[in-house]
Chain A
Amino acid sequence: MERFIQQLLLIFPLLLLSACNAPARYILVSEGSAESYRTYRENADQRFVCLAQADARNNSGLLALRKQSDIEEYERTRTDRHDPVERILFHLIRKDYSKARDVLQQHDAIVPQYLRTLLHADLAYEADARNPAKAAQLIKQYQDAFDIQPCAISREIINLRIRQVRYLR
């Protein structure tokens, strides 16, 4: 029995560590990236945002954030806290949707249109997805975002979003 408890005590921190280091909900991928977003997909709740090459270059640090530990590490070493696009995306990755919404509203004109429409749709999803009455409106918002996305994989990514709108309970 004692041996069992000892083993349990050894395993417990590992379990705790793996639970703390959960995969990020929002993952940024880059246009033309050799790897598909599927490479990073760990569960059905994950959502991907594909950045145009110029935005990906400006926010290369954000592209590498896959796990909770990556996000914490990035926050420690974060240098440019004034770029609104970086701030919005970082709040999104940290699941701080209200802050992301605030910064987006303040700097709406600076954010590239393809990203702005997608972020508006995603933030609306985070606020209203559990309300079935909003489903048609959310699908429309994703439709508006779809046609101006720079990435070829946006077709799959936005189709996935629409499925998430449908099946969320």
Chain B
Amino acid sequence: MKPIWFVALGVMLCAGCGGAPALENLLQTKNGPLGYLYDSEKVSEKQTGTVRIGSVIVEDVLPQTTSVTEQSGFMLPLLVVNVWKYDYHSQLGHSQLTNDYKTFIKDSFVEELKRSGKFSYVDDQSAMEIDLKIKTISMTAPIRKTGNVIFLLYAVSFSQSYYAGPAEALITADAVLKKDGTEVFTQQFTGVGKTGVLQGRNLDIADFTTAMIEALSLSVKNLHENIVREINKI
């Protein structure tokens, strides 16, 4: 048997391999902080009245580790032309975050209240008090792997591409605003953050971790802005 056939057989066996666990390992190599630009319109002249935060409860809404699960896929071993396509779903784990997400959610909410809230933010005694409870963070972060191997008699062609994204994070929270002990509103708020698609042969799939962190950051920003906008309606 000619050596080329050993190579061909090897490539055929390995084609499309390195699935979910390999992707998971790659995504776990990258980490970064949650963070965003506060670019909402600043309210410099505050109205009469103050607001404080009663409580911010963030349940364990993010898993510890980043994971990848295979959703669907196929491989067609047609000897001369071998084609494969796999779809994965990834989920960001908090071990990829270099800052504590619970602290970040609380601190950034305070910052947003100070910045765009029409009432002055105070730490202690206040007429208005807001309680926030983060209930869920869900993430849609698809990765698609496609590839092919073509065997000719003395040549082998191999091609594999990844398409990752868009990473989309959805955060859900309950907010209760009280004024002088009386409930003003109890409402569920959501925040959405979305980033673009990463694709190409030279794609470093670990960058998708950064995209998921960015999407989560933007969803937190969107959530806070939505809550502050509602408070400003009072």
Interface residues of A (CB under 8 A from B): 132-133, 135-136, 139, 142-143, 146-147, 155, 158-159, 162-163, 166-167, 169
Contacts and interface: CB of A to CB of B under 8 A. Distances in A.
B99 interface: yes
A133 B31 CA distance: 10
B212 to A, nearest CB: 11
A169 B98 contact: no
B39 A155 contact: yes
6 contacts: A132-B32, A147-B42, A158-B37, A159-B39, A162-B36, A167-B210
B59 interface: no
Contacts of B204: 169
Contacts of A133: 98
B158 interface: no
B147 interface: no
Contacts, number: 41
B54 interface: no
Contact of B98 (A136, A142, A159): A136
B43 to A, nearest CB: 13
Interface in B190-217: 204, 207, 210, 213-214
Interface centre among B42, B210, B213 (most CB of A within 10 A): B210
B74 to A, nearest CB: 32
A146 B37 contact: yes
B185 interface: no
B5 interface: no
A166 B42 contact: no
A136 B37 contact: no
B210 A136 contact: no
Contacts of B35: 135-136, 139, 162
A135 B37 contact: no
Contacts of A136: 33, 35, 98-99
Contact of B31 (A132, A142, A146, A159): A132
Contacts of B39: 146, 155, 158-159
Interface in B22-63: 31-33, 35-39, 42
Nearest to A137: B33
Given A136-B35, A147-B42, A162-B35, 19 more contacts: A132-B98, A133-B98, A135-B33, A135-B98, A139-B36, A142-B37, A146-B37, A146-B38, A155-B37, A155-B39, A159-B37, A162-B36, A163-B214, A166-B32, A166-B210, A166-B213, A167-B207, A167-B210, A169-B207
In the complex, which of the residues B32, B38, B204, B213 has the most CB atoms of chain A within 10 Å of its own CB atom?
Answer: B32
Contacts of B32: 132, 135, 166
Contacts of B98: 132-133, 135-136
A143 B98 CA distance: 19
